[in-house]
A and B are shown apart, each in its own frame.
Chain A
Amino acid sequence: MSAITVSHLTKKFGDLTAVDDVSLAIEEGELFALLGMNGAGKTTTIKMLSCLIFPTQGDAVLLGDSIRKDPIAIKQKSNVSPQETAVAPNLSVLENLSLMAGIYGQDKDSAQSSARDMSSRFGLNGVLNKSAKKLSGGMQRRLSIAMALISDPEILFLDEPTLGLDVLARRELWSSIKQLKGKVTIILTTHYLEEVEALSDRVGIMNNGKLVAVGTTAELVTQAGTENFEDAFVSLSGGEL
């Protein structure tokens, strides 16, 4: 069953068409990676699907609710981990997590309990009372994703979740994301091709706002007639091999 059905989604900023007539269906529990060069339209697509910005044309239905007609219903059952770490810097890890749980409707006790559970899941127990601004980049990323998951979303948007992380921190985060597969529908944007290969069920390649190819990494390699996924991405993105 489709968790997300996107129909002719378009976003224009003045004369610039950032997202151009994108149509797509994503299954429940699927991890779908959106791949593309800078300015390809990945973040704009995520912003429309998470009801942060309104589409110029088209619509998307997330678990039965339209982004045009029912943004509040969608916001209640989805969550976002933005490109930046987006944490409250002077609040502790526990306070950041409790705050987000409370905002999504949990009472004080449940919020505290969820915050502790989420800290365990993301290896944040050792820094529970440390202020977010004092955490390393990797820990802040983990906290950011934990904050997105504490509301127990059915759909999760991860916008470049491992941007700027070292190899070790990235691998740790991959492991956390892998644990969510099958339970949460995830749309992930990234520039790292190895991340796509390691995590995604299917990949959508965007170029100049258009969704130019969709499939598994193996399908895309076959479609492009290349030897590996990197070459397939370059070829399908309109680049030269």
Chain B
Amino acid sequence: MKTILFAGRNTKEILRDPISFFFGLGFPLILLLLFNIINSAIPAEAQNTMFEIESIGPGVAVFGTIFLALFSGMLISKDRTTSFLMRLFASPMQSFDFIFGYTLPMIVMAAVQALFTFIVAAVLGLPLTINTALAILVLLPIAILFTGIGLLCGSILNEKAVGGICGALLTNVAAWLSGAWIPLDLIGGAFKKTAEVLPFYHAVQATKAAVLGNFSGIMPHLSIVLIYTVVFYMLAVIVFRGKMKSDKV
């Protein structure tokens, strides 16, 4: 009950912030339309499939989840600095009420965001099939990964630092290293090797495999994402629980 109440409050806080609403829902859709315009401008004889909707659609869906780190991080950080979290720490709420209360809205928002992205992608030519539902399911652990990163950053950093790290830095690093915009093979070398070690590229590949119905291609990539998700989420939970017991909220 307390978890659901707190999750409801967190959902309202994020959705009533117009900037969050724009970045959460509007920005990925704008990107999708933008890439579609670019793709239309590429002559057929160039045989460039880089910006085709089958490639860009899943990439944009993953890109949308990166903002969850910013939303969750900013919310927690703001709750800490305004002492709202201190008020709640003085209440009978338990650590799992806080952790799930911050996470649940992000999972729901990720699912809604992905659904809108795939609907717009369908308008632009990506078939809307049962594989779309599978892709949304694949996106959920990716959403939890970014929520975990946000929870971790929000627990230890102030709003300004969270904005810098989860906003400017993470969105850029994750987007470029995901291979969502530019295939990694085009760049190769250390860039490709780095991208393959990190979860962002695998997140896009797993989502792409789900969309295309390449079922055997999902798990090899998703398993790497899951490892990162477990590590970051556990770390976030440990740090948050530590914060609850620490002398400085």
Interface residues of A (CB under 8 A from B): 11, 13, 50-54, 72, 75-76, 78-91, 95, 99-100, 102-105, 131, 147-148, 151, 157
Contact = CB atoms under 8 A, between A and B. Distances in A.
Contact of B2 (A51, A80, A103, A147): A103
Given A53-B247, A75-B92, A88 B9 contact: yes
B6 interface: yes
9 contacts: A53-B246, A76-B92, A78-B90, A80-B90, A86-B87, A88-B9, A99-B5, A103-B6, A105-B92
B249 A52 contact: yes
A14 B140 CA distance: 43
Contact of B90 (A13, A75, A99): A75
Q: Give the residue among B78, B91, B245 with the most A Cβ atoms within 10 A.
A: B91
B12 A95 contact: yes
A54 B92 CA distance: 16
Given A13-B247, A53-B247, A88-B13, A80 B86 contact: yes
Contacts of B91: 75, 79, 100, 103-104, 151
Interface of B: 1-2, 5-6, 9, 12-13, 16-17, 78, 82-84, 86-93, 245-247, 249
Contacts of B82: 84-87, 89
B245 A82 contact: no
A69 to B, nearest CB: 15
Contacts of B93: 103
B183 to A, nearest CB: 40
B197 to A, nearest CB: 38
A75 B9 CA distance: 21
Contacts of A82: 83, 86-87
B72 to A, nearest CB: 15
Contact of A104 (B89, B92, B249): B92
A189 to B, nearest CB: 14
A52 B6 contact: no
A233 to B, nearest CB: 27
Contacts of A76: 92
B86 A131 contact: no
Contact of B17 (A11, A54, A90, A103): A90
A147 B83 CA distance: 13
Given A52-B89, A80-B87, A147-B87, A91 B5 contact: no
Given A53-B246, A82-B87, A131-B16, 4 more contacts: A51-B90, A54-B245, A86-B84, A100-B87
